[in-house]
Amino acid sequence: MNRYDVIVIGGGPAGLAAAISADRRGAEVLLIEREARLGGILKQCIHDGFGLVRFGEKLSGPEYVERFIKEFRERRIQSSLLTFVTDMKKTDHGFVLRAVNRSGVHEYEAKALVLATGCRERTAKQVQIHGTRPAGVLTAGTAQHFVNLQGKMPARKCVILGSGDIGLIMARRLTLEGAEVLGVYEVKPTPSGLTRNIVQCLDDYKIPLYLSHTVTRVFGEQRLTAVEVAEVDEQMQPIKSTRKRIACDTLILSVGLIPENEMAEKLGVRLDTKTKGPVCNHRFMTEVEGVFSCGNALHVNDLVDYVSESGELSGTAAAEYAEKMGSTKRREVSLNTDASLQYLVPQKLALSEGLDKVIFYFRSREVLKQGTLVFLVDGKEVFHRKYRNLKPPEMERLELNCTSFGLSDASRIDVQIKKEGDI
Ligand SMILES: Cc1cc2nc3c(=O)[nH]c(=O)nc-3n(C[C@H](O)[C@H](O)[C@H](O)COP(=O)(O)OP(=O)(O)OC[C@H]3O[C@@H](n4cnc5c(N)ncnc54)[C@H](O)[C@@H]3O)c2cc1C
């Protein structure tokens, strides 16, 4: 059996960054990827806007990820492509992984694992649309794959359900390729995607956005011929009197992403009900000792720059763990959040690790013109920062020195966002 210090599962931007940083830290690394090429989902994201934070440049997805692939190759890090990890087990010495590829089933041993398996799209089944099952109902990611990688047009006249970023980007892409995009229908009263994508992908192309609207029914036998749309009330229930039939040949779904954690669940990793990714500490270690998580498998990011950042940090932490395996006792304190936060990552601080540079990622639950993020230890405020224009679709990043928090094993940490009037 082949033995490694760190095995990274997933060769997207998170996995590549994790493998590079673990290698930099001196670990023997293997990266396993189920597809034929490295790069993850960025291979099909040919629009620009990637890398503004990290490189100060506007790159396309392939250009961004190529910088990491180049370094990965220069470092001669081992990889196994077209290899699908199907099972993982914890042992006394670490983990045994089973993976399948064209040459058969293989087993690998590792002291630490980094799960960088990305996310998947929600489908029609998860949004309850009535009607027949004609061709022409597809997710925005599938449409992106057809247009950008296969050079095929999946739509002539389409409706987009959901204002997630991939749907917005595909509204522009399909328009540029000659399709008629009749509108984007969003069930919530506010858009799900980034403001910059609303402006650059819809407003600039005069594509209408219908908030508080949804698709209730599809029509067509072989191929989609029309959809029924309706306005929704405050409980998000369709209002019958507003139902309208729209002729179209394609319905594109952009109704959210879910972290892919089937493998993590096999290992007994606990998932956060808010992020749908693993509960982890500030070194990105999950509740299963030696298993690390990063990128979109951990929580759905809106900027790839932060995906790479979490990959890098988790790779370094995994390499350090493999080096001193089992020699440090785990001591952690949970961060408790209230309903003002949609989520906060990490969910725990590891007291046995350095707390001088902790990176938090969070989203506000509500749109707030002004809000103050507050950290309380045993009821006493230890940190606050004011924010302007907090919005659920826009993730915030905060770097904090937590050494002055005076934490002990018995501490209780609460994190909340206070609205202007609450302070
Ligand atoms: C369809 C789609 C389109 C997107 N478009 C954009 C966009 O236009 N702009 C943007 O900023 N963000 C976009 N995103 C968000 C994007 O996912 C992130 O910015 C970033 O690519 C996430 O990186 P990652 O490495 O965490 O995941 P990914 O890039 O998804 O990489 C995960 C990798 O893990 C591999 N993998 C998973 N399970 C296994 C297994 N069991 N065995 C082996 N390998 C496995 C997958 O094949 C994949 O290569 C998109 C996401 C999706 C799903």
Mutate to test the pocket of ligand 1, among 41, 148, 258 (most ligand atoms within 8 A of CB): 41
Residue nearest to atom 20 of ligand 1 (CA): 304
pLDDT value at residue 34: 97
pLDDT value at residue 62: 97
Q: What are phi and psi of 375, to 5 degrees?
A: -110, 130
User: Which residues pair with residue 184 across a beta bridge?
Assistant: 160, 209
Tell me the torsion sign for CA atoms 182, 177, 118, 13: negative
Mutate to test the pocket of ligand 1, among 38, 42, 160 (most ligand atoms within 8 A of CB): 42
User: Could you report the per-residue pLDDT of 117-152, keeping only the tens digit for each?
Assistant: 999 998 766 667 777 789 999 999 999 999 999 999
pLDDT value at residue 403: 94
Q: In angstroms, what is the span from residue 105 Cα to ligand 1's centroid?
A: 25
Residue nearest to atom 53 of ligand 1 (CA): 120
Q: In angstroms, what is the span from residue 12 Cα to ligand 1's centroid?
A: 6
Q: Which residues of the chain have pLDDT under 70?
A: 124-127, 421-423
Longest Cα–Cα distance of the chain, Å, equals: 66
Residue nearest to atom 30 of ligand 1 (CA): 118
Q: How far apart are CA 287 and CA 290, in angstroms?
A: 9
pLDDT value at residue 402: 96
Q: How far apart are CA 233 and CA 189, in angstroms?
A: 10
| Position in ligand 1 atom list of the atom nearest CA 118 | 27
- 382 and 405 Cβ atoms separated by less than 8 Å: yes
Q: In angstroms, what is the span from residue 259 Cα to ligand 1's centroid?
A: 10
pLDDT value at residue 421: 59
* Structural domains of the chain sorted by starting position, each given as residue range(s) with its CATH number in brackets: 1-121+257-327 (3.50.50.60), 123-255 (3.50.50.60), 330-423 (2.60.40)
Cβ < 6 Å from ligand 1: which residues?
9-15, 32-35, 40-42, 45, 84-85, 116-119, 121, 141, 144, 166, 169, 257, 260, 263, 295-297, 301, 304, 307
Q: In angstroms, what is the span from residue 121 Cα to ligand 1's centroid?
A: 10
Q: How far apart are CA 287 and CA 128, in angstroms?
A: 34
Residue nearest to atom 34 of ligand 1 (CA): 10
Mutate to test the pocket of ligand 1, among 296, 298, 306 (most ligand atoms within 8 A of CB): 296
